[in-house]
Structure 1
């Protein structure tokens, strides 16, 4: 079991996907400052299921993703951070939030890619790109995906036009097949909702 600095957020981070953050809260500025002294700076990201990011009292997900710091730049009292999601974990126990949130975590097994899933991944990608072309969102339907099929499967989950609850369901997937099937089902459900509006 490892103890990780934690960054609870109102959004889900998936493995193999980027995370862009503007950090201005003193406790997280302290956390990033300490991480920059490490050879391999990493922190955990979990979804805030209920409550607020500031002032405590929030309810945090028990499953999250480790983020590896890639770049940090400063602008007045704000740090601009780019991190990359790596591995998923389960939170075993939260430590004290002072000076910043920390938790004891256990790694979750990495999902295993099987070439037999290629048609399912192709179908999922086609559906996600089709729906992205019809809705306004942060992701372009032409967004490039990794050549690695496992990484691309997680990236499809990240760019699918879904709410955070659905994204959290995807993060909990235990197989790549289940991940891709849920990406398809949830994206088609979202498409029906948009069509009904």
Structure 2
């Protein structure tokens, strides 16, 4: 079991995504300072089940998150702009509020069995998303080839409730995530056809906006 500094967010992030964050709250500025001094600048990103990213009260977190490797830090007008790469899923075993100025979690790493067979699954997931876009009157100019980025981009475009996004993170490896987004695309397309939804605002993206 390992310990990770935690950065709770109001969104679900999948492995493979490059994450920009704007850091201004003192406890997270302290966390970034710790990471800059560390030989392994890795922290955990986890979605908030209930509560807020900022404030005194500790939010209630989902059990599964994703590690992030700090890549760059820029200091700008009293806050930090950081870039991190999302890498491995973990399960939170316990959260500690007193070990540091920020939250620290004891985590167990979750296996990523591999990406065997993802080429066909990626093609099917991409086509499923195109069919969904046709159903709602949306369009995507460009979807990534990387299986993890493709799953993340489709998830971003579907606009699902947070618990369903979290379920996708917990689904398993890249192949399982692609199967899951393929099923979700079919479900959402069928729902849109049933409800007669058209001209929906669908803007899938692999670039996440700063918090």
Deviations 1:6-46 (A, max 9, x none): 00101112111111111110100010011001122110011
Match of 1:114 among 113, 116, 122: 116
Q: Which residue of 2 aligns with 1:101?
A: 103
Task: Note if contact 2:131-2:189 (Cα within 8 Å) is conserved in structure 1.
Answer: no
Q: Which residue of 2 aligns with 1:25?
A: 25
Shift of 1:142: 0.5
Instruction: Give the Cα–Cα distance (whole angstroms) in 1 for the partners of residues 3 and 153 of structure 2.
Output: 30
Instruction: Give the Cα–Cα distance (whole angstroms) in 2 for the partners of residues 35 and 57 of structure 1.
Output: 21
Q: Which residue of 2 aligns with 1:65?
A: 66
Match of 1:170 among 165, 168, 171: 168
Q: Which residue of 2 aligns with 1:158?
A: 152
Alignment of 1:74-93 (within 5 A): 74-93=75-94
Shift of 1:174: 2.7
Q: Secondary structure at the match of 1:36?
A: helix
Instruction: Give the Cα–Cα distance (whole angstroms) in 2 for the partners of residues 33 and 132 of structure 1.
Output: 43
Shift of 1:141: 3.7
Structure 1 residues 142, 74: CA separation in 2 closer, same or farther (over 3 Å shift)?
same
Structure 1 residues 144, 4: CA separation in 2 closer, same or farther (over 3 Å shift)?
same
Structure 1 residues 123, 111: CA separation in 2 closer, same or farther (over 3 Å shift)?
same
Q: Number of matched residues?
A: 187
Unaligned residue ranges in structure 1 (runs of 5+): 147-151
Task: Note if contact 1:157-1:167 (Cα within 8 Å) is conserved in structure 2.
Answer: no
Unaligned residue ranges in structure 2 (runs of 5+): 198-211
Task: Note if contact 1:11-1:47 (Cα within 8 Å) is conserved in structure 2.
Answer: yes
Q: Secondary structure at the match of 2:114?
A: coil
Task: Note if contact 2:46-2:65 (Cα within 8 Å) is conserved in structure 1.
Answer: yes
Q: Which residue of 2 aligns with 1:181?
A: 179
Shift of 1:66: 0.3
Deviations 1:138-197 (A, max 9, x none): xx5404333xxxxx2x21221112323222111111354432221011123334455534
Task: Note if contact 1:90-1:106 (Cα within 8 Å) is conserved in structure 2.
Answer: yes
The CA RMSD measured in Å over matched residues stands at 2.2
TM-score by length of 1: 0.84
Instruction: Give the Cα–Cα distance (whole angstroms) in 2 for the partners of residues 43 and 107 of structure 1.
Output: 13
Instruction: Give the Cα–Cα distance (whole angstroms) in 2 for the partners of residues 79 and 129 of structure 1.
Output: 37
TM-score by length of 2: 0.79
